[in-house]
Amino acid sequence: MAGSDADPNPWTALSASLRPSEDTAVAWLRGLGNNPAAPPEVLVGLFDAGPRPCVYFLYRDDLPDGVLDAAVVHPAKSVRVTAAEAGRLSPAQWSRLLAATDDPALRAVLAELAADQASYRASGARIGVANPPSPGSRPPSTPAEIATMAAAVPDITADSPTYAVWWIAALHSDTDAMRRLAASPNLLIRRSVARAPRLPPDVVELLAHDTDRVVRLLSESCEDAPADLLLEVWSWWSGSFSFPGRPRNHPNFPRHGLLRFAEDPAPRMRLLALDDPASSALLVERFSHDPDALVRTRAALDPRLSAASAVRLTGDADHHVHSSARRNPALPADALVSSLLDDHCAEAAARNPAIPTAVMHRMISLATPRQRP
């Protein structure tokens, strides 16, 4: 364990004389880019690390202040282009990026990208909504026009992929229109209503009990989805890239009363018990022995996990479990260092927030090829 007489400072294993393998070096850089405790100076240091800098972390939505500011003026084209493509730059950052780009052809491409991103934001375009047939298309404005256009919407089967009908999305703020359309027998129309950001209570109640699962996924985009619907959807839906974290990170997802699921036969429901503020370290330990890998993974991520269990779970047969255990700050330093030196798990270990900042800098230095004399 860390601090033992045999190894009082395990971090000395990452000394200046260490020569990590190329695979380990790349794994460190990738992991540090996604380490939630990595300060701005560490992330900025990754811009110049390795034979080819690993800068995909610029897509993170939780980047510390200052990282993008440094990226847009970095001399490496790959860093500036990745920052631009991530889609999170402010107008001032775009101006600095374009000013820092000497190549006229690249500057023109980046300027077009900036304009496209600004146009998309200004248009109010939303995820999961089909585009209008033409720039001049206008949604219906009267009940009669709504009925006429609704009659022309083709029906679909339950297994059909769906984008919300553009004109229905344009009427999402019209509560009367949503009430009429939510009662439609046409599945595409009901799915289109379910994409509304806000809906009146009676419409939410109607759609929450729809026989179609995709309609009930209003829990992804609708801020008014009720807690019972969110729990029901969680039992069978693992989420999508379009709405990451939903339904579990929905503001209406219950945060209390989840301990009742600790004995639930369904693993997805059982793991929710650890999200209850009334849960305990004892429950974390119990779940670390759960027969289901989903539940063990949730326990492996919990900072209340004991050091001994964190070590034990690094040997779990399930990839998600042992990777999660290596990211847990409860993992003792000697076990963490051992994982950092293993090609097969170095990336997960490099995401552990318990790595001291000075060691993060040392890892970057060790992972960066030295110039031959």
pLDDT (tens digit, 9 = 90+) per residue, 292-341? 999 999 999 999 999 999 999 999 999 999 999 999 999 999 999 999 99
Inter-residue contact 232 to 206 (CB < 8 Å): no
**Of 104, 46, 101, nearest in space to 73 by CA:** 101
Task: Read off the pLDDT of each residue in 191-204 and give the average, rounded to a whole number.
Answer: 96
- In the chain, the percentage of residues whose pLDDT exceeds 70 is 97
**pLDDT at 7 (0 to 100):** 61
- pLDDT at residue 5 greater than cutoff 60: no
| Pair of tokens at residue 172 | 């999402």
- pLDDT at residue 264 greater than cutoff 80: yes
**pLDDT at 370 (0 to 100):** 67
Beta bridge partners of 164: 129
- pLDDT at residue 50 greater than cutoff 90: no
Task: Read off the pLDDT of each residue in 357-372 and give the average, rounded to a whole number.
Answer: 85
Give dist(CA 272, CA 255) in Å, integer. Answer: 9
To 10 degrees, the CA torsion angle through 54, 58, 60, 61?
Answer: 170
pTM of the model: 0.89
Q: Predicted confidence band at 279 (pLDDT cuts at 50, 70, 90)?
A: very high
Average pLDDT over the chain, rounded to whole? 94
Residue 87 is given by DSSP the state T
